[in-house]
Amino acid sequence: MNLYDFKVKGTKGEEVPMEQFKGKVLLIVNTATGCGFTPQYEGLQKLYDRHKGRGLEILDFPCNQFGHQALGTDEEIGAFCTLKYKTTFPRFAKVDVNGDNQEPLFRFLKNRKGGFMGSNIKWNFTKFLVARDGSVVGRYAPTTDPEKIEKDILKLL
């Protein structure tokens, strides 16, 4: 199985095939609107603005597993991100990233790039960098500002 075999749920409950992102560089992030790292949305949007024309997609997966910091419906989360941080990158339905009900895409990402953090995601704003061929090439801690990932993104664009 590869990254493009997965289907995820959109914010309106629709099925979204990951295949639609084939050939793009992806930064996949589990997010939360009430977290100390939430201001990273600003840095993520700056990266997206600078590089979406060259093939970067940032995929936002809200997650309420860590401190219940992604409260609200998918619609409310989307409104918050759009109004407060002016985000325009794709956002998906709220997911679990660990445990029995974890989104299969995140199981795949963790198995491909467990990295220094082991297999489980420890907190909101863990970031996975995926090359155009679908290979998972990086995993970044929540404390890593999006701007610090830019050099790695540029190598893949």
Write down the catalytic residue from 32, 35, 77, 95. 35
User: 125-153: b or e for each residue (b if 16 or more CB lie within 10 Å)?
Assistant: bbbbbbbeebebebbbebebebeebbeeb
| Alpha-carbon gap, residue 146 to 105, rounded angstroms | 21
Beta bridge partners of 59: 28
CB atoms within 10 A of CB 31: 26
* 35 included as an active-site residue: yes
Contact 12, 56 (CB under 8 A): no
Rg (CA), the chain: 14
Cα–Cα distance, 107 to 3 (Å, whole number)? 11
| Catalytic residue IDs | 35
